[in-house]
């Protein structure tokens, strides 16, 4: 992460918009969880966004403007069988986002946690239950459109949490 940060600073001088979108999902029972799995999931889902936010917000603070989007999950609000590590990591990201929204507010840096429901990705193909239908999942482009839309608002616009779900009515 730090090497990528240095290269970006060298090439562009900094960034105005940070999108923390990496995520790791593993289904595991309590008995299957070990310390390595905990570290792996939290390293990607929580620690990386915290480190990236810390590094890239420096330049945003100097410029008195920035946007940070943490792509969470609706799982941050719900628990699920065999998904305790994923749910707890996304809940941690939500808490971090809420705190950063307040901490960075005076610098005109807006932090938003976007919590989509299931998305049409390879990760979304991991079945959670028999009632889920991959065809009804959100398209990744829809999430990107929300980020672009929210990025377009000026510094007085407040946005902190967005939950995205698709419901097919028949």
Tens of pLDDT along 78-108? 888 898 998 999 999 999 999 999 999 999 9
CA distances (Å), origin 138, targets 44, 121, 166: 22, 9, 6
124/138 Cα distance (integer angstroms): 10
Q: What is the mean pLDDT of the chain?
A: 85
Higher per-residue confidence, 152 vs 69? 69
Does the structure show a pLDDT above 60 at 168? Answer: no
Q: Which of 5, 77, 86, 107 is catalytic?
A: 86
Higher per-residue confidence, 87 vs 133? 87
Decide if 110 contacts 159 (C-beta within 8 A). Answer: yes
Q: Is 86 a catalytic residue?
A: yes
Collapse the DSSP code of 54 into the 3-class scheme (helix H, G, I; strand E, B; otherwise coil) and give the result.
helix
85/123 Cα distance (integer angstroms): 15
Q: Bridge partners of 29?
A: none
User: For the packed helices 48-63 and 84-103, what is the interaxial angle rounded to 10 degrees?
Assistant: 20
Judging by beta carbons within 10 Å of its beta carbon (0-12, 13-18, 19+), is residue 114 exposed, middle or buried?
buried
Question: Per mean pLDDT, which range of 9-13, 46-50, 74-78 is the poorest?
Answer: 74-78
Higher per-residue confidence, 124 vs 5? 5
Residue 41: band (very low, low, confident or very high) from pLDDT cuts 50, 70, 90: very high
Collapse the DSSP code of 115 into the 3-class scheme (helix H, G, I; strand E, B; otherwise coil) and give the result.
strand
**Mean pLDDT over residues 37-65, rounded?**
97
Q: What angle do CA 94, 96, 102 make, to 5 degrees?
A: 105
Query: What share of the chain has pLDDT > 90, as a percent?
Result: 53
**Mean pLDDT over residues 31-54, rounded?**
97
């Amino acid at each position: 992460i730090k090497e990528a940060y240095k290269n970006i600073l060298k090439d562009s001088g900094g960034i105005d918009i940070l999108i923390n979108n990496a995520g790791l999902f593993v289904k595991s029972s309590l008995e299957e969880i070990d310390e390595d799995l905990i570290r792996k999931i939290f390293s990607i889902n929580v620690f990386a966004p915290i480190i990236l936010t810390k590094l890239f917000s420096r330049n945003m603070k100097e410029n008195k403007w920035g946007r940070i989007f943490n792509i969470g999950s609706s799982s941050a609000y719900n628990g699920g069988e065999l998904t305790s590590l994923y749910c707890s990591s996304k809940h941690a990201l939500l808490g971090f986002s809420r705190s950063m929204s307040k901490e960075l507010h005076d610098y005109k840096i807006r932090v938003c946690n976007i919590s989509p429901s299931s998305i049409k990705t390879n990760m979304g193909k991991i079945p959670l239950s028999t009632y889920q239908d991959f065809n009804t999942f959100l398209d990744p482009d829809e999430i990107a459109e929300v980020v672009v839309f929210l990025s377009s608002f000026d510094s007085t616009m407040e946005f902190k949490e967005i939950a995205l779900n698709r419901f097919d009515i028949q």
